Amino acid sequence: MSTFIELSYIISAVLFILGLKMLGNASTAVRGNSISAGGMLLAVVVTLLHRDIVSYQWIIAGILVGGGIGAIAAVRVSMTSMPEFVALFNGTGGLASLMVGWAAYYGMAGDYGDLEIPRGDVVVQVVATFLSVLIGGVTFTGSLIAYAKLSEKIDGKPVLFTGQQWLNGLVLLSVVASGVIFVINPDAPAAEIAFYVTMGLAFVFGVLATIPIGGADMPVVISLLNSYSGLAACAAGFVIGNTVLIVSGSLVGASGIVLTNIMCKAMNRSLAHVLFSGFGSAGGSTQSGGEQGEAKSLTAEDAYYVLEAAASVVIVPGYGMAVAQAQHVVRELAELLEKNGAEVKYAVHPVAGRMPGHMNVLLAEADVPYEQLVEMDDINPTMETVDVCIVIGANDVVNPGARDDESSVIYGMPIINVDLARSVFVLKRSMASGFAGVQNPLFFKENTRMLFGDAKATVTQLVNEFKGA
């Protein structure tokens, strides 16, 4: 039986790794997700068979309640709400790990000295219990703040106050002190107090670590919190001695860190700023020092004549496309442009939208060919040869102030250089700034024309113009 259990765990781990690899390609992502889910199902079933379960009624109740909530939420959530939905997922994962650590401590409190295992193994279990509670608590409250900012239930701007860094440092020192007290002698009365103090400080630090982060920087925060949830799960695996949980948590934690690093590079931020809570709070101007003046608008009919003569078109999707649910009609426009002889590409910025891969998910949902998606570093060298660049709801990721205006709060962030194209069409509802609250000089450039209104309605008009030609 033991051999069967270990073999099943190995198969589950292989399925996790295979599924994770397949998630790196849009054409195989759905299959990869199913394979990973199959691996987790196998791991859960085998664990239940392996453990001495007294009664399955609570497990069945949990499956029914949790599965029901998850199914309803998955069906009802819109693509525009996906970033905050992911934040909630991260938070519940962190809370689950905290509960595992709490339950393990509650069951073993006062009995650590009686465990018939080497002292070193006891220390590992105690440290793992401490980390699962600490990381899980930080992930939970941090994810709740991220959710509130992304859903605009609270202000998305950085929350700063005098002595903030000192307070963060004091909380961290208190966590370390509580951890030392708990690990040295987990059976002592003081250890129980330290344990609950750690739990409370974890909740507090999750809030303090997230409130200084501006809403425009949320893609990095989401990927970082995702990594935290994996690390918390890994620690929980050590607590209960479950190999497959350790492996899966490590994979999530490692992939989250890699993704966080990619997001940081895409925004010209350092990982240290994220980890030490200074992220997104740097000072700077929200007014552009670039071109000013009156933006020039254009009708869909006039835009059609320009697009009809274009030999190359680049589409830059942004959060506005998600809000308008315009991805399907955008794909239809692209197909019409191709039939008209134009080369069409989609330039996707790594942090476009409000979570990592947001635009990739939208375009994949619309069955946009993956080979048409071009990364920022690959499209920028060719931008001067592009006849028309269509910006659909993107703002900060195409703001030339990030490249040219040293006083801007987003200065230094790599952008898609749409302003270098021969013509630029910007589809927006209004002249409002992006999520970073920064004015965009792109709107006032000579080669830019604004198409105001709902993105889906505007692109539909363009489609109708092509069909009626």
The predicted-structure confidence for 16-43, as pLDDT tens digits, reads as follows 999 988 887 767 888 898 999 999 999 8
Q: How is residue 215 written in tokens? A: 């809403």
Q: Residues of the chain with pLDDT > 90: what percent?
A: 40
Whether residues 129 and 247 share a domain: the answer is: yes
Whether residues 370 and 444 share a domain: the answer is: yes
Q: What pLDDT is stored for residue 312 in this prediction?
A: 95
pLDDT at residue 120 greater than cutoff 50: yes
Q: Confidence class of residue 277 from pLDDT cuts 50, 70 and 90?
A: very low
Residue 290 within any structural domain of the chain = no
Q: How is residue 187 written in tokens? A: 């059976």
Q: Which long-range contacts (CB under 8 A, 24 or more apart) does 358-363 make?
A: 358/82, 358/83, 358/219, 358/319, 358/322, 359/317, 359/318, 359/321, 359/322, 360/26, 361/79, 361/82, 362/79, 362/317, 362/321, 362/322, 362/327, 363/26, 363/317, 363/327, 363/331
Whether residues 344 and 250 share a domain: the answer is: no
**Domains of the chain: total:** 2
Domain end call among 242, 275, 308: 275
Residue 346 within any structural domain of the chain = yes
Whether residues 305 and 269 share a domain: the answer is: no
Q: Confidence class of residue 279 from pLDDT cuts 50, 70 and 90?
A: very low
Look at 123 and 335; give whichever has higher pLDDT: 335
Domain end call among 275, 310, 328: 275
Whether residues 263 and 136 share a domain: the answer is: yes
Question: Of 465, 42, 16, 43, nearest to 243 (Cα)?
Answer: 43
Whether residues 176 and 97 share a domain: the answer is: yes
pLDDT at residue 222 greater than cutoff 50: yes
Whether residues 200 and 327 share a domain: the answer is: no
pLDDT at residue 283 greater than cutoff 60: no
Q: To which residue do tokens 């992939």 refer?
A: 255
Whether residues 343 and 243 share a domain: the answer is: no
Residue 24 within any structural domain of the chain = no
Whether residues 247 and 364 share a domain: the answer is: no
Whether residues 151 and 87 share a domain: the answer is: yes
Q: What pLDDT is stored for residue 287 in this prediction?
A: 53
Domain end call among 208, 240, 275: 275
Q: What pLDDT is stored for residue 162 in this prediction?
A: 85
**CATH number, residue 342:** 3.40.50.1220
Whether residues 250 and 372 share a domain: the answer is: no
Q: What is the pTM of this model?
A: 0.79
Question: Of 456, 450, 305, 327, nearest to 390 (Cα)?
Answer: 450
Residue 158 within any structural domain of the chain = yes
Question: Of 434, 330, 358, nearest to 78 (Cα)?
Answer: 358
Average pLDDT, the chain: 85
Residue 70 within any structural domain of the chain = no
Active site (annotated) includes residue 155: no
Q: What pLDDT is stored for residue 139 in this prediction?
A: 95
Question: Lowest-confidence range among 190-204, 278-292, 351-365?
Answer: 278-292
Residue 400 within any structural domain of the chain = yes
Residue 54 within any structural domain of the chain = no
In terms of residue numbers, what domain contains 95? 77-275
Strand pairing class (423-428; 448-452): parallel
Whether residues 247 and 365 share a domain: the answer is: no
Catalytic residue among 217, 396, 405, 419: 396
